[in-house]
Structure 1
Amino acid sequence: MPEPPVQAPVATPLTTPTYPISGFFIAASSRDSANSQKLSDIKTFGGDTVITFGTALQPVSQKTLPRDCLIDGKSCATVVAGPLKINRYFTFLDGSHWGPSILRCPGDRSVVNNGLTFAVLLIPNEGQGCTSTNGSYDVVVAGGSAANASDQYSSLASAATKLKMKYFAGLPAPAKRADIRYLPDLSYTRTLAIFTERFLQYQSQENDLPGLAGFYHHTEIPLADSPTYDSVLALYASQNQLIHRILPDRQAVVSPYIEARLGKASSSPQEAGVAVRKIAQTSNGVVLNIAIQDGMGTGKGGAFSSSEANSPVDPSSAAAVGKGSWASKYVAPNRDYFAAAAAGVAGTSAVLWANVEGMTPASNTSSCGDGFRGLTTKARLDRQLKQVVNAQKIVSYMWDSFFNCAGKGTALKDQLEAGLKTPILTDVTFRPDTGQIQVAGFNLQGSSVKVRWTTAEGHPQLKVLKASGTNAGYGLQHGLNPGLEMISIGVGKTTIETGSTYSLTVTNGWGGTAPQFFSSLG
Structure 2
Amino acid sequence: MNAVDFDSKPSPKETPRPAPYPISGYFISSTSDDARNLQKLRDVKAVGGDTVITFGNSLVPTPAESLPADCIVNGDSCAGALGSTMKINKFFTFSDGGQWGETALKCPQDRSVDSRGKTYTILAFPTEGEGCRSPTNTYDVVVAGGSRTTAKDPTVSLGHAASELDMQFYAGMPAPVKRSDIEYLPDLSYSSTLKRFTERFLEYQAAKNDVPGLAGFYHHLEMPVSDNAFFEPILSVYTMQNEAIHRVLPTRSALISPYIEARRDSASITPQNARAGIRKIAATARGLELNIAIQDGMGTGKGAAFLEADATAPVDEYAASIVGKGTWKQRYIAPNKDYFDAAAAGIRGTGANLWANLEGMAPAVASNDCDGSLRGQTTLARIDSQLQQLGKARKVISYMWDPYFTCESQNAPLKDQLADGFHASLITDTVFDADAGKVYISGFNLAGQGFQVEWTLKDGSKQRQHVGKASSAESTDGSKDANPRLETVTLDVGPTSLQTSNSYIVSLGENPQLPGGAASPQDG
- Do Structure 1 and Structure 2 share a fold, with TM-score over 0.5? yes
Name the structure 2 match of 1:135: 137
The Cα shift of 1:459 comes to 11
SS at 1:252 equivalent? strand
Q: 1:244-323 residue pairs with structure 2 within 5 A?
A: 244-323=246-325
Name the structure 2 match of 1:3: none
Instruction: Pick closer, same or farther for the CA change 1:431–1:197 going to 2, 3 Å.
Output: closer
Aligned counterparts of 1:452 and 1:241: Cα–Cα separation in 2: 50
Aligned counterparts of 1:459 and 1:178: Cα–Cα separation in 2: 61
What code does the residue aligned with 2:152 have? S
Name the structure 2 match of 1:157: 159
Match of 2:229 among 227, 230, 234: 227
Match of 1:519 among 506, 514, 517: 514
- Report if the CA contact (8 A) 2:159-2:209 is conserved: yes
Are positions 1:11 and 2:9 aligned together? yes
What code does the residue aligned with 1:355 have? N
The TM-score, its normalising length taken from structure 1, stands at 0.88
Aligned counterparts of 1:488 and 1:121: Cα–Cα separation in 2: 60
Instruction: Pick closer, same or farther for the CA change 1:210–1:459 going to 2, 3 Å.
Output: closer
Q: Which moved more, 1:424-433 or 1:228-237?
A: 424-433
In structure 1, the gaps of 5 or more residues are 1-7, 507-514
In structure 2, the gaps of 5 or more residues are 1-5, 518-524
Instruction: Pick closer, same or farther for the CA change 1:433–1:133 going to 2, 3 Å.
Output: closer
Instruction: Pick closer, same or farther for the CA change 1:77–1:121 going to 2, 3 Å.
Output: farther
Aligned counterparts of 2:462 and 2:128: Cα–Cα separation in 1: 82
SS at 1:101 equivalent? helix
- Report if the CA contact (8 A) 2:369-2:375 is conserved: no
The Cα shift of 1:431 comes to 8.3
Are positions 1:417 and 2:419 aligned together? yes
Q: 1:322-333 residue pairs with structure 2 within 5 A?
A: 322-333=324-335
The Cα shift of 1:479 comes to 4.0
Aligned counterparts of 1:165 and 1:76: Cα–Cα separation in 2: 39
Name the structure 2 match of 1:63: 65
Aligned counterparts of 2:62 and 2:435: Cα–Cα separation in 1: 71
- Report if the CA contact (8 A) 1:9-1:466 is conserved: no
SS at 2:139 equivalent? strand
- Report Cα offsets for 1:460-509 as digits up to 9, x if no partner: 989572227646549x3494323211234568899999999967445xxx
Instruction: Pick closer, same or farther for the CA change 1:503–1:364 going to 2, 3 Å.
Output: same
Match of 1:466 among 461, 464, 469: 469
Aligned counterparts of 2:351 and 2:292: Cα–Cα separation in 1: 11
Q: 1:367-382 residue pairs with structure 2 within 5 A?
A: 367-368=369-370, 371-382=373-384
What code does the residue aligned with 1:331 have? I
Name the structure 2 match of 1:511: none
Aligned counterparts of 1:324 and 1:340: Cα–Cα separation in 2: 26
CA RMSD of aligned residues (A): 3.1
- Report Cα offsets for 1:266-316 as digits up to 9, x if no partner: 111111111110110011111111111011110111111222221222221
- Report if the CA contact (8 A) 2:505-2:513 is conserved: yes
SS at 2:300 equivalent? coil
Q: Which moved more, 1:244-253 or 1:92-101?
A: 92-101
Instruction: Pick closer, same or farther for the CA change 1:277–1:495 going to 2, 3 Å.
Output: closer
SS at 2:21 equivalent? coil
The Cα shift of 1:99 comes to 2.8
Aligned counterparts of 1:269 and 1:455: Cα–Cα separation in 2: 28
The Cα shift of 1:388 comes to 1.3
Aligned counterparts of 1:341 and 1:362: Cα–Cα separation in 2: 29
The count of residues paired between Structure 1 and Structure 2 equals 505
Aligned counterparts of 2:491 and 2:107: Cα–Cα separation in 1: 69
Match of 2:99 among 76, 79, 97: 97
- Report if the CA contact (8 A) 1:366-1:372 is conserved: no
Name the structure 1 match of 2:3: none
What code does the residue aligned with 1:70 have? I
SS at 1:120 equivalent? strand
The Cα shift of 1:448 comes to 3.6
Aligned counterparts of 2:83 and 2:486: Cα–Cα separation in 1: 58
- Report if the CA contact (8 A) 1:368-1:401 is conserved: yes
- Report if the CA contact (8 A) 2:27-2:398 is conserved: yes
Instruction: Pick closer, same or farther for the CA change 1:317–1:127 going to 2, 3 Å.
Output: same
Aligned counterparts of 1:102 and 1:122: Cα–Cα separation in 2: 11
Aligned counterparts of 2:462 and 2:241: Cα–Cα separation in 1: 64
What code does the residue aligned with 2:25 have? G
- Report if the CA contact (8 A) 1:465-1:489 is conserved: no
The Cα shift of 1:421 comes to 3.3
